[in-house]
């Protein structure tokens, strides 16, 4: 919309010989929009979010995870670690300087949780492993598209302080349970191992030797990855279809026996849990701190396209000590809430209706104080209740009853207030009775127990 818009009006000639148009004034108009890559969640959409958050909180509670909340921005060095080759760190962070300090809006949740774990020495005050979950906004300067925004909401878990194949499988099972509870059945688990430090070092050497004569075939980002972490070339969205990438050495060929045994035990645990999976030897994940098990759970719906990944994560062995803590292993994953909700909706998941009203109180005449007293009584008794607090016709108020999907209706007129009575109607069976005002809650309770 233009900021300055001329308004033209048709006028009649004073002499009556025709019409002409004149510009009477200039009106200033303004149109404010959300920044690119952000969005509003409107009231009619909130039910899906509340329902999904409830599923997450109930599931993490059963798995004995506890919520942790960290700042929306941290010192840049929390995220920008030495020689990190990830696109997130190199191209997508929102960073700003305040005096002598550099800060960054959090692009992911793990780093802040580990920083808090170390800063508050939680490894000394709670039973290990520490089980944490977070839920909140993240920020990445990406190209906005379906299911991917610059401000997005992420749920994630971190299991810190212990290392075992069983914990890896349990972590995948937690995310898998959440996805299934959201009614998403068209999914598969993709899993791989990056091995231990020795295995990865041998594999990096092999990849550098292999890709050296193919560098001219690779994109500019992969030239940087070649120097920093050649494993990340396998994860490149630009070069992933090139023959030189497909023909690259397989990490499985460079795993030592310890790494192979660890991974085989993870797979055996998934078999025991009857969680289907597919080993993907090109899966390396987009962040540099992973070791051993890495995984993605993706949608198999044909229309998922590039946004098929529902949740993803892996194990990390050196992250805790990076922030000054002891040598400890951890594992976690993150789910993009927008993708989770959209996929659930596309598969027809029932999010319920939290906007329905238990009781609507209709007022007729000068009875506003009595109506307000009644609706407050209902709310304090645990009912969701709404009332007509302005003068409207009975017909108009019953339209509000329908729009609010009310289950019961209380009608208060001047005669009812005078006689200490009220008219109460059950919408489902059309029954209607006149009761004393003090009998309201008991009557509703009886109807609830029918």
The verdict on residue 6 lying in a domain is no
Q: Give the H or E element holding residue 334.
A: strand 330-336
pLDDT tens digits, one per residue of 236-270: 778 778 888 888 888 888 899 999 999 999 999 99
Q: Which residue has the tokens 């229309």?
A: 303
| pLDDT, position 13 | 46
* pLDDT confidence band for 201 (50 / 70 / 90): confident
Do 182 and 289 reside in the same domain of the chain? yes
| pLDDT, position 203 | 85
Annotated binding site for L-histidine: 108-110, 140, 154, 158, 285, 289-290
Residues of the chain above pLDDT 70, percent: 90
Do 282 and 365 reside in the same domain of the chain? no
350-359, 389-398, 426-435: which range is least confident on average? 350-359
The verdict on residue 69 lying in a domain is yes
CATH of the domain at 318: 3.30.930.10
3-state helix, strand, coil in the chain (%, to 5): 40, 25, 35
pLDDT tens digits, one per residue of 2-15: 444 445 445 554 44
Do 288 and 310 reside in the same domain of the chain? yes
Do 313 and 417 reside in the same domain of the chain? no
Mean pLDDT for the stretch of residues 273-280 = 94
Do 279 and 336 reside in the same domain of the chain? yes
Residue, of 67 and 143, whose pLDDT is higher: 67
Please say which residue of 322, 347, 372 terminates a domain.
347
CA–CA dist 98, 435 (Å, integer): 66
pLDDT tens digits, one per residue of 46-62: 999 999 999 999 999 99
Residue 111 has pLDDT above 70, yes or no: yes
Mean pLDDT for the stretch of residues 362-376 = 95
The verdict on residue 159 lying in a domain is yes
| pLDDT, position 27 | 53
Annotated binding site: 108-110, 140, 154, 158, 285, 289-290
Residue 35 has pLDDT above 60, yes or no: yes
Do 264 and 399 reside in the same domain of the chain? no
| pLDDT, position 160 | 97
Q: Are 133 and 67 in contact (CB under 8 A)?
A: yes
| pLDDT, position 28 | 57
CA–CA dist 50, 39 (Å, integer): 17
Q: What is the DSSP letter of 247?
A: T
Residue, of 286 and 197, whose pLDDT is higher: 197
Please say which residue of 312, 347, 382 terminates a domain.
347
Residue 22 has pLDDT above 90, yes or no: no
Q: Are 193 and 255 in contact (CB under 8 A)?
A: yes
Residue, of 183 and 201, whose pLDDT is higher: 183
The verdict on residue 316 lying in a domain is yes
| pLDDT, position 51 | 96
The alpha carbon torsion through 45, 51, 52, 55 (nearest 10 deg) reads: 180
The verdict on residue 341 lying in a domain is yes
Do 287 and 429 reside in the same domain of the chain? no
| pLDDT, position 412 | 96
Q: Give the H or E element holding residue 332.
A: strand 330-336
Residues of the chain above pLDDT 90, percent: 63
Q: Compute how many other C-beta atoms are within 10 angstroms of the C-beta atom of residue 229.
A: 19
The verdict on residue 25 lying in a domain is no
Do 326 and 366 reside in the same domain of the chain? no
Residue 189 has pLDDT above 80, yes or no: yes
Residue, of 365 and 303, whose pLDDT is higher: 365
Do 272 and 398 reside in the same domain of the chain? no
What is the domain count for the chain? 2
| pLDDT, position 211 | 86
The verdict on residue 10 lying in a domain is no
The domain in which residue 373 lies consists of: 359-449
| pLDDT, position 304 | 65
pLDDT tens digits, one per residue of 67-102: 999 999 999 999 987 766 566 777 789 999 988 899
The verdict on residue 317 lying in a domain is yes
Residues whose CB falls within 8 Å of the CB of residue 41, separated by 6 or more in sequence, listed in order: 49
| pLDDT, position 290 | 81
Mean pLDDT for the stretch of residues 112-130 = 95
Do 323 and 364 reside in the same domain of the chain? no
Dmax of the chain from CA atoms? Answer: 102
| pLDDT, position 422 | 96
pLDDT tens digits, one per residue of 206-240: 888 888 888 888 888 788 888 877 887 887 778 77
CA–CA dist 155, 150 (Å, integer): 16
pLDDT tens digits, one per residue of 388-407: 898 899 999 999 999 999 99
The rounded mean pLDDT for the chain is 88
Do 405 and 328 reside in the same domain of the chain? no
Do 263 and 407 reside in the same domain of the chain? no
CATH of the domain at 397: 3.40.50.800
Please say which residue of 301, 318, 347 terminates a domain.
347
């Amino acid at each position: 919309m233009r900021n300055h818009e001329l308004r033209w009006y048709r006028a009649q000639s004073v002499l009556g010989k025709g019409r002409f148009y004149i510009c009477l004034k200039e009106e200033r108009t303004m149109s404010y929009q959300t920044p690119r890559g952000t969005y509003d969640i409107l009231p009619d959409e909130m039910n899906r979010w509340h329902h999904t958050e409830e599923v997450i909180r109930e599931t993490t509670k059963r798995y004995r995870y506890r919520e942790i909340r960290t700042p929306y921005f941290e010192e840049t060095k929390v995220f920008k670690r030495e020689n990190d080759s990830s696109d997130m760190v190199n191209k997508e962070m929102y960073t700003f300087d305040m005096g002598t300090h550099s800060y960054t809006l959090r692009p992911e949740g793990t780093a802040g949780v580990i920083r808090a774990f170390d800063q508050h020495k939680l490894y000394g005050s709670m039973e290990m492993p520490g089980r944490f979950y977070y839920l909140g906004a993240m920020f990445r300067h990406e190209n906005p598209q379906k299911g991917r925004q610059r401000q997005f909401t992420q749920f994630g878990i971190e299991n810190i302080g212990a290392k075992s194949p069983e914990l890896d499988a349990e972590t995948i099972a937690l995310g898998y349970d959440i996805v299934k509870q959201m009614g998403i059945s068209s999914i598969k688990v993709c899993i791989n191992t990056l091995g231990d430090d020795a295995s990865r070092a041998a594999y990096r050497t092999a990849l550098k030797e292999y890709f050296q004569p193919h560098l001219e075939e690779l994109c500019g980002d992969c030239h940087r990855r070649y120097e920093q972490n050649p494993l990340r070339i396998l994860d490149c969205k630009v070069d992933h279809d090139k023959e030189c990438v497909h023909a690259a050495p397989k990490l499985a060929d460079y795993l030592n026996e310890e790494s192979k045994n660890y991974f085989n035990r993870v797979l055996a645990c998934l078999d025991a849990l009857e969680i289907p999976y597919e080993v993907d030897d090109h899966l390396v994940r987009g962040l540099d701190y992973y070791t051993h098990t890495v995984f993605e759970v993706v949608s198999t719906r044909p229309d998922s396209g590039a946004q098929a990944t529902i949740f993803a994560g892996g194990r990390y062995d050196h992250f805790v000590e990076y922030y000054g803590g002891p040598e400890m292993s951890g594992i976690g994953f993150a789910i993009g809430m927008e993708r989770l909700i959209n996929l659930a909706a596309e598969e027809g998941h029932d999010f319920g209706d939290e906007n329905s009203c238990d009781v609507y109180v209709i007022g007729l005449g000068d009875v506003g104080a009595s109506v307000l007293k009644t609706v407050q009584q209902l709310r304090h008794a645990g009912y969701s209740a709404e009332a007509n607090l302005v003068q409207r016709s009975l017909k108009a108020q019953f339209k509000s009853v329908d729009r609010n999907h009310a289950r019961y209706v209380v009608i208060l007129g001047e005669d009812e207030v005078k006689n200490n009575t009220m008219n109460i109607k059950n919408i489902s069976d059309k029954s209607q009775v006149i009761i004393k005002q003090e009998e309201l809650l008991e009557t509703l309770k009886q109807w609830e127990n029918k």
